């Protein structure tokens, strides 16, 4: 299952409880920028040491896309 999680642009209090829950529960996170996502997780005190963060942009190589599709078939992302 693929989840799209909206994150706040300005005010960090503009995040939903569901978004926080999903960020805590999911093991795999595909993000535009992993550094920004790590900062976001730190801001909400979400442990990410057991998570796999991967960058996904319009410039992502086809080989990585196939890898991400395989992860999607087997796990919640």
**pTM for the whole structure:** 0.79
**Residue 75 C-beta-side C-alpha neighbours within 13 Å:** 14
pLDDT band at 67 (very low <50, low <70, confident <90, very high): confident
In this prediction, residue 70 carries a pLDDT of 86
Q: How far apart are CA 33 and CA 54, in angstroms?
A: 8
In this prediction, residue 64 carries a pLDDT of 85
pLDDT band at 22 (very low <50, low <70, confident <90, very high): very high
Report H helices in 1-77: 17-25, 34-43, 62-74
Does position 45 have pLDDT exceeding 90, yes or no?
yes
């Amino acid at each position: 299952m693929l989840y799209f999680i909206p994150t706040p642009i300005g005010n960090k209090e503009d995040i939903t409880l569901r978004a926080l829950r999903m960020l805590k529960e999911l093991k795999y996170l595909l993000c535009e920028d992993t550094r920004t996502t790590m900062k976001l997780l730190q801001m909400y005190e979400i442990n990410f040491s057991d998570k796999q963060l991967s960058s996904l942009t319009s410039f992502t190589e086809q080989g990585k896309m196939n890898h991400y599709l395989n992860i999607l078939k087997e796990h919640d992302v």
